[in-house]
Structure 1
Amino acid sequence: MAKDRLYFLDNLRASIIFLVVLLHVSLCYMLYAPSWWYVINPVSSIFFTLLVVLIDVPIMPAMFFIAGYFAIPSLQLHGATEFLRQKTWRIFTPWVLGILLLAPPTAFMIPFTRNLPVEIFSFWTGAFWAEAFQHSVYWFLALLFWMFVALTLLWKCIPALHTLTQTPAKAPLWFFPVFVAISAACFFTVIQFLPLDYWFVSYFLSFQPERIFQHVLYFSLGIWAWKYGWFTEGGYCPRKRAWLPILAITMAVYLLVKMGFAASTAPLLNKQFVLACSFATYCIASLMGWSAVFSTWVNGRGRFWRSAAKNSYGIYFLHALVVYWLAYGLIAVTWSIYIKAAVVFFITTIFCWLFTSGVLRKAPLLRRMF
């Protein structure tokens, strides 16, 4: 396998971070925004609602897939102790810093933007650790870290993993239909017991129950993909001419299903089944479609992509607070919301990019994390 063959996965991960920023910007300007959302612009647009619906579904499964793809070779290279030490520095410690330093002022935006009589210091030291506790965007780090811990335990218990080798092979015809069926079944089962978009929150873990199995499945799919040499010579390489039409169709179907879910008069069980199936197919089609595009068109190591890949973690870590305060500051400005959204997105991305490059990746200790 040529070393630069998988640069596209780093580029894809960086692009997903840009989409995460765009998602959180769009939530501030969307029609039908969650009532609790940090900043809600008085003027909204269905355009941003559509963006949120389309971006929200596939980005996290792709991130877990990429993490899983590189997990076993990293374990084999470093061993369990060093592997877990590195993940503690790179994932657990930033999660702790995020919860202690950035999540409280982010959560404070909720009462602050609603003119509630709350002072930030008392909120930070009191209410945040009780009824207002949340992980903000850092829930991903906690969940990913515990997945790595679980994988390390499996590694210790299953010696065969130590000598597991990559054996490139094509994906059998049954593979993707079966994967989608399992994914849809997990989603459908969970929403029989818990409402859609419900968040489970504890001090050490936060997730949406209907999506937790998707994240585990895609992390596991990443491990499977590495084992069978996906994206390498002799392994499965998704093709644009196959996956891009599938992506377009599944995207349109999911959008119609999601946007029409509440208004549909069909029996609830039927609606939930269709939603689960459309969700699962859109997820896998996005991952394969994006992989097909990036592996052929965005597989380089030019200056832009090298910098984006290196600084994307810091952009993710910093962006939330910047997005919400900027969006709040622009509420009184009489610009079009499309201009406002563009300004928030570009200023946030550029500021966080420069701050990561100049501070997070150069300061002692911090550079070991970012």
Structure 2
Amino acid sequence: MNSNVNVPFSNLRAVVILIVVAFHSALPYLASQPAQPFAFDAEPYRWIAFPIIDRERWFGFDLFCAWQDISLMPLMFFLAGLFAPASLGRKGAFAYLTDRWWRIGLPFAFAVAFLSPLAYYASYRLTAADPSLSAFWQHWRALPMWPSGPQWFLWQVFVLSALASAVYGFTPGLGQALSRLVGRLTERPLAFVAGLIGLSALAYIPLAMMFSPWAWATVGPLSLQYSRPLLYLVYFFTAFAIGSHGIDRSLLRADGPIARYWLAWLAAAVISMCVWGGLTSRTLPDWDASPLIDRWASASAFPFACTAGVMAYLAIALRLLRARDRVLDSLSKNAYGIYLVHYVFVLWLGYALVGKTLNAPAKMLIVFSVALVLSWLTSTAAGAIVRTVAKTPSRKTPSRRPSAISHEGAVADRT
């Protein structure tokens, strides 16, 4: 990393990838899941979200995963938008969008084509009468979609990056207006948060009430959660506005109001999460059959919990993650590579531990630790190969293109 890197957010990127791997490692052990794994050929294909089901359970993982489901993905879209203006300023709209294709679009295609089937083969084997690879491939191709796993994040970031490129290239006045608005809120964090909650509510509540918070749509390898595409747009472009104004001059500066009151933001996140969890429990197990007032209350609590969770992460990074660390530097550098490959390791390790006489926390810790190390090593090795190939002399005039597998981070401008 160079001296211009924003250290708190680089460290936050490292923490985020740890949480992503931990989140997927905990999914087989949720107490809320049924006793048996989901059949591979049966609608609504819930194995896509919960590919491995283990008989060992711990309710603490339900709480952990619920919190991350609320705040982690909006945070990742926020970080993706935060550094986009600086990159657009350096490269211009067309070069930026081209770069996004090489860094996001092409890796998405590779991961969907090869890594997703490899990962989900482990899920298929849990319920298959014929566990052979050829039988799996027949069942896989018979599906009405091509499951992409966690790679859905990449195509949505690519779309938002294209929108950011269009804003920069065709409506620069809009970016300047957003920058001025953020500037007026530099010392008014409560007004900023209130505005973010309000926009999040407008983006989320109508769709959640219409489709439920949990429903997904999939066309080929492209998946989205019905209730959240506009929510992610809000977080991406809120961060884009901050980046346009200048992070070090905004309320996200190291000595700003977000950093100073990190404990208050953390307390708000915990309280709002508990409120959302209590209200949402009244809509389970069947959202559509629950009373309208309960559904509305649950949907209305989500924007508060989502915003508070994101602000807590940002505040903790600004206050507690300000020092350089070699391990965090390496994690941050390899975050994107880890994100691309970790699901393969997580699913096969979870599959290998099904039926083993260990409790749920022990299994989760094994899956998390081993998957993290293997993903980290894979990312590091891929980076070394890419750098070696890039340095190989060519008789032709060298053409400098970004590598298909970038190691500059999956949750910032360098997604």
TM-score for the superposition, normalised by structure 1 = 0.90
Q: Deviations over 1:246-276 (max 9, x none)?
A: 1221122122223343279996222122212
The residue number in structure 1 matching 2:308 is 285
The residue number in structure 1 matching 2:101 is 88
1:62-101 equivalences in 2 (<5 Å):
62-101=75-114
Query: Of residues 326, 332, 355 in structure 1, which corresponds to 2:378?
Result: 355
Q: Deviations over 1:119-153 (max 9, x none)?
A: 43454477347425211110000000011112212
Distance 1:66 1:339, change over 3 A: same
The residue number in structure 2 matching 1:249 is 271
CA distance in 1 between partners of 2:82 and 2:290 (Å): 39
1:136 equivalenced with 2:149 (yes/no):
yes
CA distance in 2 between partners of 1:136 and 1:233 (Å): 35
The residue number in structure 1 matching 2:284 is 262
Query: May I ask how many residue pairs the two structures share in their alignment?
Result: 369
Contact 2:214 2:225 in 1 (8 A): yes
Contact 1:105 1:124 in 2 (8 A): no
Query: Of residues 338, 344, 348 in structure 2, which corresponds to 1:315?
Result: 338
Contact 1:5 1:299 in 2 (8 A): no
- Paired amino acid for 1:95: F
Contact 2:209 2:299 in 1 (8 A): no
CA distance in 2 between partners of 1:78 and 1:109 (Å): 42
Contact 1:6 1:231 in 2 (8 A): no
CA distance in 2 between partners of 1:153 and 1:121 (Å): 44
CA distance in 2 between partners of 1:331 and 1:172 (Å): 47
Query: Of residues 253, 273, 286 in structure 2, which corresponds to 1:232?
Result: 253
- Paired amino acid for 1:215: Y
Contact 2:145 2:218 in 1 (8 A): no
- Paired amino acid for 2:15: S
- Paired amino acid for 1:345: F
The residue number in structure 2 matching 1:102 is 115
Distance 1:123 1:153, change over 3 A: farther
SS at match of 2:167: helix
- Paired amino acid for 1:369: S
SS at match of 1:57: helix
CA distance in 1 between partners of 2:221 and 2:123 (Å): 22
CA distance in 2 between partners of 1:172 and 1:40 (Å): 42
Mean Cα deviation higher: 266-275 or 227-236: 227-236
1:302 equivalenced with 2:325 (yes/no):
yes
CA distance in 1 between partners of 2:63 and 2:254 (Å): 38
Deviation at 1:4, TM superposition (A): 6.2
Query: Of residues 138, 155, 158 in structure 2, which corresponds to 1:145?
Result: 158
Q: Which runs of 5+ in 1 are unaligned?
A: none
CA distance in 1 between partners of 2:330 and 2:160 (Å): 28
Q: Deviations over 1:279-314 (max 9, x none)?
A: 111111111111111112112222111111101111
Q: Deviations over 1:71-110 (max 9, x none)?
A: 1111011111221121111111110110111111223333
Q: Deviations over 1:198-243 (max 9, x none)?
A: 1111236311011111111100110122234232379663421431
CA distance in 2 between partners of 1:50 and 1:100 (Å): 33
Q: Deviations over 1:139-171 (max 9, x none)?
A: 000000011112212222214368789664333
Contact 1:107 1:128 in 2 (8 A): no
Distance 1:59 1:82, change over 3 A: same
- Paired amino acid for 2:32: Y
Query: Of residues 288, 296, 312 in structure 2, which corresponds to 1:273?
Result: 296
CA distance in 2 between partners of 1:158 and 1:275 (Å): 37
Contact 1:5 1:232 in 2 (8 A): no
1:86-235 equivalences in 2 (<5 Å):
86-117=99-130, 119-121=132-134, 123-124=136-137, 127-128=140-141, 130-160=143-173, 168=183, 169-171=186-188, 173-203=190-220, 205-228=222-245, 229-232=250-253
Q: Which runs of 5+ in 2 are unaligned?
A: 39-46, 391-402, 408-415
- Paired amino acid for 1:27: L
SS at match of 2:206: helix
Contact 1:38 1:106 in 2 (8 A): no
Distance 1:24 1:83, change over 3 A: same
- Paired amino acid for 1:210: S
Distance 1:5 1:252, change over 3 A: farther
The residue number in structure 1 matching 2:350 is 327
CA distance in 2 between partners of 1:339 and 1:178 (Å): 42
The residue number in structure 2 matching 1:369 is 406
Mean Cα deviation higher: 162-171 or 243-252: 162-171
CA distance in 2 between partners of 1:196 and 1:251 (Å): 15
Contact 1:92 1:142 in 2 (8 A): yes
Contact 1:199 1:207 in 2 (8 A): yes
Q: CA RMSD in A?
A: 2.8
1:339 equivalenced with 2:362 (yes/no):
yes
Mean Cα deviation higher: 347-356 or 220-229: 220-229
Q: What percentage of residue pairs aligned between the two structures are identical?
A: 25
CA distance in 2 between partners of 1:282 and 1:355 (Å): 35
Distance 1:232 1:109, change over 3 A: same
CA distance in 2 between partners of 1:163 and 1:182 (Å): 19
- Paired amino acid for 1:358: A
